[in-house]
Amino acid sequence: MARAFLSLGSNRGDRRSTLEAALRALEVAGDVRIIRRSSLYETAPVGKADQPEFYNLVIEVQTALDPGELLDRCQEVERAFGRVRQERWGPRTLDLDLLLYDRRAVHTERLTVPHPEMLRRRFVLEPLLEIAPDAALPDGTPVVAHLAGLTGQAVRRLGQP
């Protein structure tokens, strides 16, 4: 079984209910099990500011799926919740990102792990470090070393979803 971290976000519809239902959907097949989950965070959009704020959280999972299969599962769940990829960084009912997968680096045509944007996103790092303060990149660099440099990104902890 592999250990992986996923980021979930939503800024359309009932954000809290969508995230709760997405967590259940990830586990339904039995090959992904949520071990820990962060608090819920309300965050300002990044990349395209003229849209509603997001609810975000990070989960740690154990999985029998390889990284590509886990990406497929995440995209299946996104589609089940009405995710249509039209506009980069635009509003969405659900966004799931594979952040880390064991201590492996993955570089394929469709997947890069660690997630290429995670170290520039406070809304990812704060909830990740809440549940895994020892999180590290595949080369051993502690993730916490990147948090201090992220300024100007509004992130507010709401508590458990």
Tell me the pLDDT band of 160, cut-offs 50, 70 and 90. low
Q: What is the number of structural domains in the chain?
A: 1
Q: Which of 64, 34, 57, 46 has the alpha carbon at shortest distance from 120?
A: 46
Domain containing residue 61: 2-159
Among 15, 37, 73, 97, the active-site one is 97
Which of 37, 95, 121, 122 is an active site residue?
95
Length of the chain: 161
- Best mean pLDDT range from 37-46, 91-100, 125-134, 152-161: 125-134
pLDDT digits (tens, 9 = 90+) for 6-50: 999 998 889 999 999 999 999 998 999 999 999 999 988 776 666
Catalytic residue of the set 37, 73, 83, 122 = 83
Any idea what the CATH number is for the domain that residue 18 is in? 3.30.70.560
Instruction: Answer yes or no: are the C-beta atoms of 67 and 105 closer than 8 Å.
Output: no
Confirm if 19 and 161 have CB atoms less than 8 A apart.
Answer: yes
Contact 90, 48 (CB under 8 A): yes
Task: Give catalytic status of residue 134 as yes or no.
Answer: no
